[in-house]
Amino acid sequence: MEGAANAELLAFLAKRLGVPRAAVTIVRGASGRRKVVEVAGVAVAAAAAALEA
């Protein structure tokens, strides 16, 4: 179940940020509730704006 939730999160972020799924990775917290993700090719400000919309 945990792996499915992480996969769904990564797919959601990739779609919302307009990047390929492979550009989004979990850096820390894969087994916890709080996660740190890295998105290749997207600036922090642009990511924040896309997720707030």
The residue to which tokens 């922090």 are assigned: 44
Rounded to 10 degrees, the C-alpha dihedral 30/34/36/41 comes to 100
Q: What is the pLDDT of residue 2?
A: 65
pLDDT tens per residue across span 15-49: 999 999 999 999 999 999 999 999 999 999 999 99
What letter does residue 36 receive in the DSSP assignment? E
d(CA 10, CA 23): 9
Helix axes 44-52, 2-17, angle to 10 degrees: 100
Reported as a pLDDT band with limits 50, 70 and 90, residue 1 is low
Domain ranges of the chain: 2-52
Q: What are phi and psi of 26, to 5 degrees?
A: -85, 120
- The reply to whether the predicted model has a pTM over 0.95 is no
